[in-house]
Chains A and B, each alone.
Chain A
Amino acid sequence: MINDIYREKEISGCGLSAYMDESGRRTSGDDIIQSIALLHDRSNGLGGGFAAYGIYPEFPDSYAFHLFYDDGASQVTCEELIHASFHIRESGPIATRKAFGIGPSPIIWRYFVDPKEEILERAGLSADDFVVREVMKINKTIEGAFVFSSGKNMGAFKAVGFPEDVGDFYRLDEYRAYMWVAHGRFPTNTPGWWGGAHPFTILDWAIVHNGEISSYGINKRYVEMFGYHCTMMTDTEVMAYLFDLLLRKHGLPIETACAILAPPFWDLIAHMPEEEKNYYTTLRMVYGSAMANGPFAIVLGSRDMMVALNDRVKLRPLVAARKGSIVYVSSEESGIREICPRPDTVWMPRTGEPVIARLQQEAAS
């Protein structure tokens, strides 16, 4: 459990890169590492991380928990809790190799788990809601234990270090995914903490973020009304919960969720046709507390979708490109051209206009 009110909100700059092959074809982590390595100067070695989708085809329907433990004691306590609520299909340490620049690591463990039916019934919750609750419980109450990934057939990998070294450390060249999301941090006010690196995940959602959310204080209080607890002291985490709330719990389409996070200005709304005006006005009235204000460029990954979004006045860089079935986004065009020298199209997404890539079908191989 991390409890430090001095670091309520992280202030950081960053670099990000991501791509999705909409055809579902899976590739190794080599390309994404190469892309984010080019953006080396956008981070300062205090955190790097990746999210990869489609990497656990052998357990596609189990929740893959990735945990950091400070010590053996926290592992024992936490595993008691996991055992009580879940059937563990398989568990073991996540494979790593010695890598340049990666310091002493916590215990890093992986569990493939299924919630116990009878417990779900008693709790009266869907499996997803139950997992969210348990993850919150572990992160909030168990000293030294931290769940940093909890989705199905996907995983987050993160550490203190430069992102390319983190990729090397986690042996990402050995995983194959149809979507890769990478991030390098440049925090200015947080000491290195492995859990503090991006991406932030809950269930299948993974989010990386360059920016600072000035609305964090209210975004946090808003999601707390729905049972989310911000345990990682960063504004990025709250974005992950906002997406989970809007997309999964409120059942809103992704375009609507993006319009809530980065809505058009009232002046623009005033000139829209009646139906559209009513739609955006209502969104802003009802979801004003969910608006993300301040500079941001984010990439959100989920099982069948990759979404990139800029803030309302484009205060952080974001470039997108497409080559065949692959959609790329990056903080810099060079990050894309490094691994895809001649894309079909390259564009700068406008403020509040999401870049959305959708998975056509999952690859068999």
Chain B
Amino acid sequence: MRFSYLEPEFLVERNLERCIRCQVCVRQCAFEAHRYDAASDVVTVDSSRCVGCLRCVTMCPTDALIVRQNPTTFKENANWTGRVIKNIYKQAETGGVLLTGMGNDRPYPIYWDHMVLNASQVTNPSIDPLREPMELKTYLGRKPERLDVSVKDGKISLNTKLAPQLELRMPVVFSALSYGAISFNASKALASAAYEFGTYYNTGEGGLHRDLYRYGERTIVQCASGRFGVHKDYLQAAAAIEIKIGQGAKPGIGGHLPGEKVSREVSRTRMIPEGSDALSPAPHHDIYSIEDLRQLIYALKEATRYEKPVSVKIAAVHNSAAIASGMVRAGADIIALDGIRGGTGAAPTTIRDNVGIPIELAIASVDQRLREEGIRHQASILAAGGFRSSSDVIKAIALGADAVYIGTSALVAMGCHLCQICYTGKCNWGIATQDPYLEKRLNPEIAKERLMNLLRAWEHEIKEMLGGMGINAIESLRGNRLHLRGVGLTDSELEILGILPAGR
């Protein structure tokens, strides 16, 4: 290998007094940063191999390890930062596209942190969710504008039959994480947690592993541009079908699964050769316009006898509002919006970091546009892209989302440390890998419990915040922007978000 100009990103420091040379770190690091020299009975470190996943630190029984950012800096330069210079070195050394994993890590404004919630004082009692009912149940799908109800001999009967809906215990759904990008155990944990908790998970474009069909009624299956793993049983097994047009982490291009991660099982599930790169086309080659989308939506509805809602997922981009309106008119029952902070298993860094718009603005403008056109009831809005906490979720609901997708938060709950190297397939946490040795580190039962704990914790917190606002049903907060105020936002941002500044 040629000499690299890249300094190690991290420095791994071993406290030799504490180290008992048990070699846990050696076994845990798939990147081989730690090595044991039997002759001299020492464990050595090659910091240049460290990706900062902290697996060794977490597993070290004597707390002998510290991983820190390499303090070495280039000469200070506001334009030519260390990050920029290193990227150029990387490209000069390889001639390749810079790859990364997880969501955008650039310091774009996070509007959630510039919006605050309301609470009741005096004139309106807050409601205590520990003592009174607090309802988070949410239904996703197409609703009619009005119901036909008739009264005969004093008895009321309902004459309208609703389109199929998804019933959520609370407005949080596990986002599209494909089998292939993540391990079977991680997929199973998501599926079983959604099933047991009463929400849904999304297969992404990885197909549905045969052992996960039993969670079908809590599964949203994706039909993406590569059509990986799409067949009749797959569609039939699901509760809903999602057409993936775009993804927040890489708007404008298709999904990437490096061949390193296409194991035998992944190959069977995706219906592609083992070890081949699974690169989805940038567009669906049967969708070059809105009328084509309509055809695919109805082809899927026909194929499943109109028994399942069809979602269409797009990356949040400049014209999301107009696009979403077209999607609703084309027959989408759910509009899934994925913002610029949305995660991925693999994406070109430059696209992840520079394309798309923040989800907050997309929710606000799409919800508003659909209302102006009087078609808001025809589709639910499912928002994705970097939801970190229950307060992010509740603010999204207040802005106008029906529910949110969480991907990164779910991965973190399972143990992900956001080191952003998912595309290598060497995830030391057993999540974003197909290596059997690494994969078995993730116990699907424990991961399921952790996921359910996260949902329960957020459920509690959402109930507390909702009750504080004097509201006892989530639908009374949905689109209720009066409960939000902006802090430190410009007039245009406030206008787009449709909220007042704090103090007013």
Q: B162 contacts which of A267, A282, A294 (Cβ < 8 Å)?
A: A282
Q: Is the CB of B470 within 8 A of A256?
A: no
Q: Is the CB of B135 within 8 A of A266?
A: yes
Residue of B nearest to A283 (CB): B147
Q: Is the CB of B482 within 8 A of A9?
A: yes
Q: Is the CB of B158 within 8 A of A255?
A: no
Number of interface residues of B (CB under 8 A): 43
Contacts of A224 in B (CB 8 A): 371
**A76 within 8 A of partner (CB):** no
Q: A253 contacts which of B151, B371, B376 (Cβ < 8 Å)?
A: B151
Q: Is the CB of A282 within 8 A of B480?
A: no
B326 to chain A minimum Cβ distance, whole angstroms, is: 19
Q: A250 contacts which of B146, B371, B477, B478 (Cβ < 8 Å)?
A: B146
Q: Is the CB of B504 within 8 A of A218?
A: no
Contacts of B476 in A (CB 8 A): 214-215, 218, 288, 291, 293-294
Q: Is the CB of A289 within 8 A of B479?
A: yes
**B70 within 8 A of partner (CB):** no
Q: How far is the CA of A251 from the CA of B151 in the complex (A)?
A: 11
Contacts of A8 in B (CB 8 A): 482, 500
Q: How far is the CA of A188 from the CA of B165 in the complex (A)?
A: 42
A–B pairs, 15, beta carbons within 8 Å:
A216-B482, A217-B479, A218-B475, A218-B476, A221-B480, A221-B481, A226-B374, A279-B157, A282-B147, A284-B475, A286-B143, A286-B144, A286-B377, A287-B147, A288-B478
Q: How far is the CA of A211 from the CA of B470 in the complex (A)?
A: 12
Q: Is the CB of B158 within 8 A of A279?
A: yes
Interface residues in A212-249 (C-beta closer than 8 Å to B): 212, 214-218, 221-222, 224-226, 249
Q: Is the CB of A294 within 8 A of B471?
A: yes
Q: Which of B117-125, B253-261, B384-392, B406-414 contacts A (4 or more CB under 8 A)?
A: B117-125
Q: Is the CB of A12 within 8 A of B477?
A: no
**B149 within 8 A of partner (CB):** yes
Q: Is the CB of A253 within 8 A of B123?
A: no
Closest 10 CB pairs of A and B: A288-B475, A217-B482, A293-B476, A215-B476, A217-B480, A218-B480, A214-B470, A212-B124, A250-B146, A11-B123
Residue of A nearest to B158 (CB): A279
Interface residues in B135-153 (C-beta closer than 8 Å to A): 135, 137, 139, 143-144, 146-147, 149, 151
Interface residues in B475-504 (C-beta closer than 8 Å to A): 475-483, 500, 504
**B469 within 8 A of partner (CB):** yes
Interface of chain B: mostly helix, strand, loop or mixed:
loop
Q: How far is the CA of A211 from the CA of B120 in the complex (A)?
A: 13
Q: B160 contacts which of A266, A275, A282, A289 (Cβ < 8 Å)?
A: A282
Q: A286 contacts which of B162, B374, B477, B500 (Cβ < 8 Å)?
A: B162
A255 to chain B minimum Cβ distance, whole angstroms, is: 6
Q: What is the interface of chain B, defined by CB distance below 8 A to chain A?
A: 120, 122-125, 127, 132-133, 135, 137, 139, 143-144, 146-147, 149, 151, 156-158, 160, 162, 165, 371, 374, 376-377, 469-473, 475-483, 500, 504
Q: How far is the CA of A295 from the CA of B504 in the complex (A)?
A: 23
Contacts of A347 in B (CB 8 A): none
**A5 within 8 A of partner (CB):** yes
Q: How far is the CA of A251 from the CA of B156 in the complex (A)?
A: 13
Contacts of B160 in A (CB 8 A): 282, 286
Given contacts A12-B123, A252-B147, A286-B144, 16 further A-B contacts (CB under 8 A): A5-B500, A5-B504, A13-B123, A214-B471, A217-B480, A218-B480, A222-B479, A225-B376, A255-B156, A265-B135, A282-B158, A285-B162, A288-B478, A291-B473, A294-B124, A313-B472
Contact of A265 with B133 at beta-carbon distance under 8 Å, contacts A215-B480, A250-B147, A253-B156 already known: yes
Interface residues in A287-324 (C-beta closer than 8 Å to B): 287-289, 291, 293-295, 312-313, 315
Q: How far is the CA of A222 from the CA of B504 in the complex (A)?
A: 23
B146 to chain A minimum Cβ distance, whole angstroms, is: 4
Q: How far is the CA of A6 from the CA of B500 in the complex (A)?
A: 9
Give the residue among B135, B149, B151, B160 with the most A Cβ atoms within 10 A.
B149
Q: Is the CB of A285 within 8 A of B165?
A: yes
Q: How far is the CA of A251 from the CA of B146 in the complex (A)?
A: 9
Give the residue among A222, A225, A250, A313 with the most B Cβ atoms within 10 A.
A225
Interface residues in A1-55 (C-beta closer than 8 Å to B): 5-6, 8-9, 11-13
**A105 within 8 A of partner (CB):** no
Q: Is the CB of B478 within 8 A of A218?
A: yes
**A278 within 8 A of partner (CB):** yes
Q: Is the CB of A188 within 8 A of B478?
A: no
A188 to chain B minimum Cβ distance, whole angstroms, is: 6
Q: How far is the CA of A285 from the CA of B147 in the complex (A)?
A: 11
Contact of A214 with B147 at beta-carbon distance under 8 Å, contacts A265-B133, A289-B475 already known: no
Q: How far is the CA of A265 from the CA of B132 in the complex (A)?
A: 11
Q: Is the CB of B124 within 8 A of A214?
A: yes
Q: A293 contacts which of B139, B156, B157, B472 (Cβ < 8 Å)?
A: B472
Contact of A313 with B156 at beta-carbon distance under 8 Å, contacts A288-B478, A294-B470 already known: no
B325 to chain A minimum Cβ distance, whole angstroms, is: 14
Contact of A312 with B123 at beta-carbon distance under 8 Å, contacts A217-B481, A253-B151 already known: no
Contact of A217 with B483 at beta-carbon distance under 8 Å, contacts A253-B149, A291-B475 already known: yes
Contacts of A293 in B (CB 8 A): 470-473, 476
Q: How far is the CA of A218 from the CA of B362 in the complex (A)?
A: 18
Contacts of B123 in A (CB 8 A): 11-13, 188, 212
Contacts of A250 in B (CB 8 A): 146-147
Contacts of B473 in A (CB 8 A): 288, 291, 293, 312
Q: B374 contacts which of A225, A312, A313 (Cβ < 8 Å)?
A: A225
Contacts of B156 in A (CB 8 A): 253, 255-256, 279
Interface residues in A46-98 (C-beta closer than 8 Å to B): none
Residue of A nearest to B504 (CB): A6
Residue of A nearest to B368 (CB): A221
A283 to chain B minimum Cβ distance, whole angstroms, is: 7
Q: How far is the CA of A215 from the CA of B139 in the complex (A)?
A: 18
Q: Is the CB of B478 within 8 A of A214?
A: no
Residue of A nearest to B136 (CB): A266
Contacts of A11 in B (CB 8 A): 123-124
Q: Is the CB of A313 within 8 A of B127?
A: yes
Contact of A214 with B120 at beta-carbon distance under 8 Å, contacts A221-B479, A279-B158, A293-B476 already known: yes
B55 to chain A minimum Cβ distance, whole angstroms, is: 43
A323 to chain B minimum Cβ distance, whole angstroms, is: 24
Q: How far is the CA of A338 from the CA of B392 in the complex (A)?
A: 52
Contacts of B475 in A (CB 8 A): 218, 284, 288-289, 291
Q: How far is the CA of A188 from the CA of B120 in the complex (A)?
A: 14
Residue of A nearest to B484 (CB): A217
Q: B472 contacts which of A13, A285, A312 (Cβ < 8 Å)?
A: A312
Residue of A nearest to B146 (CB): A250
Contacts of B122 in A (CB 8 A): 188
Contacts of B480 in A (CB 8 A): 215-218, 221
B250 to chain A minimum Cβ distance, whole angstroms, is: 33
Q: Is the CB of A215 within 8 A of B471?
A: yes
Contacts of B504 in A (CB 8 A): 5-6
B236 to chain A minimum Cβ distance, whole angstroms, is: 25
Q: Is the CB of A278 within 8 A of B127?
A: no
Contacts of B124 in A (CB 8 A): 11, 211-212, 214, 294-295
Q: How far is the CA of A225 from the CA of B478 in the complex (A)?
A: 15
Contacts of A279 in B (CB 8 A): 156-158
Contacts of B481 in A (CB 8 A): 217, 221
Q: Is the CB of A295 within 8 A of B133?
A: no
Q: Is the CB of B143 within 8 A of A285?
A: yes
Residue of A nearest to B402 (CB): A288
Q: B477 contacts which of A218, A266, A275 (Cβ < 8 Å)?
A: A218
Contacts of A9 in B (CB 8 A): 482
Residue of B nearest to A246 (CB): B146
Q: How far is the CA of A278 from the CA of B124 in the complex (A)?
A: 32
